[in-house]
């Protein structure tokens, strides 16, 4: 509400003087800071936890049998044998259980309220996913129950250059401000191919939008970086003049669209680019080389296996699906061996969900790479833990079971690569945010609450004279590409 009010005021001001507004916001004409850390609430001291005698898949240094893990003050403070439980610690018998670091999903649209696409222009670097975090989205909880504890929230793929991304921990029960990972490098979404050229979204009567071809996508990105480069020069000139002590220098006009692209040029903002075909991957590498920036990750990158060498030499990383393919023409040459080929070429690779559904079972998506391409267990485990942490620049604190890292830890009923396994407990910053037994124990109470609500007058069936409820949510299928979702739609047509 407060934000809405602020926005409304800003719009009113803008109506009078756009310049005044931008200058006023810029704080002396400085482009806004790359990271905009939200003010986290004071961290509640999580109860200490000792997990005893488990099989610990550290990811960074192998599998440790019969090992204890101590979570204290939100960190992993000890990994070893016969650890002593601090006073008041929760003790979990890990006998027969497996401990894995929390899964990190390097491509998610969970908890993003409403549409993930600001689709009206093909360059929307002024839009920020951080503005639409919904901490009550039940998908967060379902993902914790699947062992996922962190995610890169990306703008949709409607635009050649989309909005800014947010790296979050799934801090279920906390306010939205607690979700962004403090200090995580900022990012931006790019997209290539069918989605930004809108080729599958031709609705009669809808105004077509430039670009409509892969040529146009290249030109759109190039145009934006040419503008960003000129804009940066204007600012560099201005700052140099101020530094020389010149008086009455007029600062360039702030441009919220170009500020993030300047950060990309300066290496301060990661580019996460949605892509499918080999040609468009090479196209973006070409632009990046020309303008002197690195693509941090290619997302989806389903034909990455065709140009793995080029991706490796550019220094980009890759975040892909294991075997989701064929749902559109540009995904028709996708193969389940993609991750393995990329890994073998030395590309730091992760497996992501891009789906509230798949985000609940990324363990199995990773396990499949042992079948498809013969990755080792450790290589496959990295695809959903350490490698995505590296890609998001948070591996110092997350992605493996190491002393000193954040206590983002999942206790599994069996080896997480077994289809028969499920998470028992999920900890984020040492806090127990999912506990299967507690969940089951809560169900009768929730059921009773539900019955009471259903009996309430407002919820009675139409024939009974009550106010009719809204149509219940429709089926949400497995294998959707959330990137493509423009609105709450389509599912009902099934």
Residues 6+ apart with CB under 8 A from 359: 105, 108, 110, 139, 143, 146, 148, 151, 353
Q: Does 324 bind other proteins (CB under 8 A)?
A: yes
As a whole number of angstroms, the distance between CA 418 and CA 236 comes to 55
**Of positions 10, 80, 327, 438, contacts other proteins by CB under 8 A:** 327
What part of residues 442-481 is at the interface with other proteins (CB under 8 A)?
Answer: 443, 446, 450, 461-463, 468-479
**Of positions 121, 229, 239, 371, contacts other proteins by CB under 8 A:** 371
As a whole number of angstroms, the distance between CA 80 and CA 66 comes to 9
Please tell me what DSSP assigns to residue 462: G
As a whole number of angstroms, the distance between CA 469 and CA 466 comes to 9
Q: What is the dihedral of CA 249, 253, 255, 256, to 10 degrees?
A: 90
Q: CB 467 → other proteins: shortest distance, Å? A: 10
Binding segment toward other proteins, per CB under 8 A, in 32-40, 247-255, 400-408, 419-427:
419-427
As a whole number of angstroms, the distance between CA 487 and CA 473 comes to 14
Q: CB 334 → other proteins: shortest distance, Å? A: 8
Q: What's the token pair of residue 26?
A: 């810029």
Site string for other proteins, 61-100 (x = CB under 8 A): ----------------------------------------
Q: Does 309 bind other proteins (CB under 8 A)?
A: yes
What part of residues 271-300 is at the interface with other proteins (CB under 8 A)?
Answer: none
What part of residues 424-443 is at the interface with other proteins (CB under 8 A)?
Answer: 439, 443
As a whole number of angstroms, the distance between CA 440 and CA 284 comes to 49
**Of positions 178, 406, 424, 484, contacts other proteins by CB under 8 A:** 484
Please tell me what DSSP assigns to residue 72: E
* 337 φ/ψ angles, rounded to the nearest 5 degrees: -90, 5
Q: CB 128 → other proteins: shortest distance, Å? A: 26
- Which residue number, 223 or 279, has a Cβ lying nearer to other proteins? 279
Site string for other proteins, 198-227 (x = CB under 8 A): -xx---------------------------
- Which residue number, 211 or 373, has a Cβ lying nearer to other proteins? 373
Q: Does 60 bind other proteins (CB under 8 A)?
A: no
Q: Does 337 bind other proteins (CB under 8 A)?
A: yes
- Which residue number, 179 or 324, has a Cβ lying nearer to other proteins? 324
Q: Does 356 bind other proteins (CB under 8 A)?
A: yes
Could you tell me which of 139, 148, 156, 173 has the C-alpha nearest to residue 357? 139
- Which residue number, 85 or 364, has a Cβ lying nearer to other proteins? 364
Q: Does 378 bind other proteins (CB under 8 A)?
A: no
Residues 6+ apart with CB under 8 A from 156: 109, 115, 116, 117, 118, 119, 162, 189, 191, 195, 483, 484, 485, 486
As a whole number of angstroms, the distance between CA 347 and CA 324 comes to 20
Q: What is the largest CA-CA distance in the chain?
A: 80
Q: How many CB atoms lie within 10 A of CB 165?
A: 25
Q: CB 125 → other proteins: shortest distance, Å? A: 27
Q: CB 443 → other proteins: shortest distance, Å? A: 6
As a whole number of angstroms, the distance between CA 409 and CA 421 comes to 16
Cross-strand pairs, 317: 297
Q: Give the gyration radius of the chain's Cα atoms.
A: 24
Site string for other proteins, 116-155 (x = CB under 8 A): ----------------------xx-xx--x----------
**Positions that interact with other proteins (CB under 8 A):** 138-139, 141-142, 145, 194, 199-200, 305-306, 308-309, 323-329, 332-333, 335-337, 341, 344, 356-357, 361, 364, 367-368, 370-373, 413, 417-422, 439, 443, 446, 450, 461-463, 468-479, 484, 491-494
């Amino acid at each position: 509400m407060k934000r809405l009010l602020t926005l409304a005021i800003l719009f009113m001001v803008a109506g009078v003087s756009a310049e005044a507004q931008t200058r006023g916001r810029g704080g002396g004409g400085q482009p806004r800071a790359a990271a905009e850390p939200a003010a986290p609430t004071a961290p509640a001291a999580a109860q200490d936890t000792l997990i005893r005698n488990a099989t610990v898949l550290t990811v960074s240094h192998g599998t440790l049998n019969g090992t204890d893990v101590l979570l204290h003050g939100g960190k992993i403070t000890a990994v070893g044998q016969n650890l002593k439980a601090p006073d008041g610690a929760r003790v979990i018998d890990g006998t027969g259980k497996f401990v894995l670091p929390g899964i990190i999903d390097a491509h998610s649209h969970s908890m993003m309220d409403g549409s993930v696409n600001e689709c009206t222009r093909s360059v929307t670097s002024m839009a920020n996913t951080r503005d639409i975090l919904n901490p009550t989205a039940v998908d967060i909880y379902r993902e914790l129950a699947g062992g996922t504890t962190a995610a890169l929230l990306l703008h949709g793929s409607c635009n050649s250059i989309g909005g800014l991304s947010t790296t979050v921990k799934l801090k279920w029960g906390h306010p939205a401000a607690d979700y962004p990972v403090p200090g995580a490098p900022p990012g931006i979404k790019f997209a290539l191919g069918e989605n930004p050229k809108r080729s599958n979204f031709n609705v009669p009567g809808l105004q077509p939008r430039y670009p409509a071809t892969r040529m146009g996508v290249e030109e759109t990105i190039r145009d934006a970086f040419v503008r960003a480069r000129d804009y940066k020069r204007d600012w560099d000139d201005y700052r140099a003049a101020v530094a020389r002590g010149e008086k009455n220098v007029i600062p360039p006009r702030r441009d919220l669209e170009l500020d993030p692209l300047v950060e990309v040029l300066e290496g301060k903002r990661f580019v996460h680019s949605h892509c499918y075909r080999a040609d468009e991957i090479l196209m973006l590498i070409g632009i990046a080389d020309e303008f002197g920036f690195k693509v941090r990750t290619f997302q989806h990158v389903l034909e990455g296996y065709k140009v793995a060498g080029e991706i490796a030499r550019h220094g980009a990383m890759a975040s892909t699906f294991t075997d989701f393919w064929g749902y559109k023409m540009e995904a028709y040459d996708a193969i389940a061996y993609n991750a393995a080929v990329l890994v073998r070429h030395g590309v730091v690779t992760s497996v992501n969900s891009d789906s509230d559904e798949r985000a609940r079972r990324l363990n199995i998506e990773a396990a499949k790479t042992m079948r498809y391409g013969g990755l080792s267990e450790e290589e496959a485990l990295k695809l959903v833990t350490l490698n995505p942490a590296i890609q998001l620049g948070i591996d110092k604190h997350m992605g493996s079971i190491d002393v000193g890292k954040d206590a983002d830890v999942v206790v599994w009923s069996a080896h997480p690569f077994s289809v028969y396994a499920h998470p028992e407990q999920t900890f984020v910053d040492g806090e127990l945010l999912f506990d299967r037994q507690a969940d089951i124990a809560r169900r009768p109470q929730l059921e009773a609450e539900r019955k009471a609500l259903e009996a309430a007058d407002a919820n009675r069936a139409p024939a009974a004279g009550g106010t009719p409820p809204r149509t219940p949510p429709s089926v949400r299928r497995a294998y959707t590409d959330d990137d493509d979702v423009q609105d709450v739609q389509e599912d009902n047509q099934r």
